[in-house]
Amino acid sequence: MGGLLPGRSRAPSGPSQEELDRQKEREDRATAQENEEKRKLASRNISRSKRNKMLMSGDVTGVEAPKRTLGPGRNPRA
């Protein structure tokens, strides 16, 4: 059946190009937001890692800090 009124064409099925463009923009924004959240989580995990804590202590470099004490036998305050 063609419809009730002859001569009218059917409206195109599916979303219009404007709706498709808006949907694409929303998806792009969502993807960018997800990537930013992943980057922030990765940065936080790296900063909390044991390796980074050891880096701050100076042990990772393999160089010992110079000893500035005289030792227990020569400490005048002992």
Split into its structural domains, the chain has a count of 1
25 located within any domain: yes
pLDDT band at 49 (very low <50, low <70, confident <90, very high): confident
Bigger pLDDT: 20 or 71? 20
What pLDDT does residue 52 have? 60
5 part of a folded domain: no
Sequence-ordered list of residues with C-beta below 8 angstroms from that of 75, at least 6 positions apart, any chain = 69
Instruction: Say if 74 falls within a structural domain.
Output: no
pLDDT digits (tens, 9 = 90+) for 20-46: 999 999 999 999 999 999 999 998 888
Residue 28 lies in domain: 17-59
Q: Is residue 36 part of a domain?
A: yes
Cβ distance 27 to 20 under 8 Å?
Answer: no
Q: 60 pLDDT exceeds 60? A: no
Higher pLDDT, 12 or 38: 38
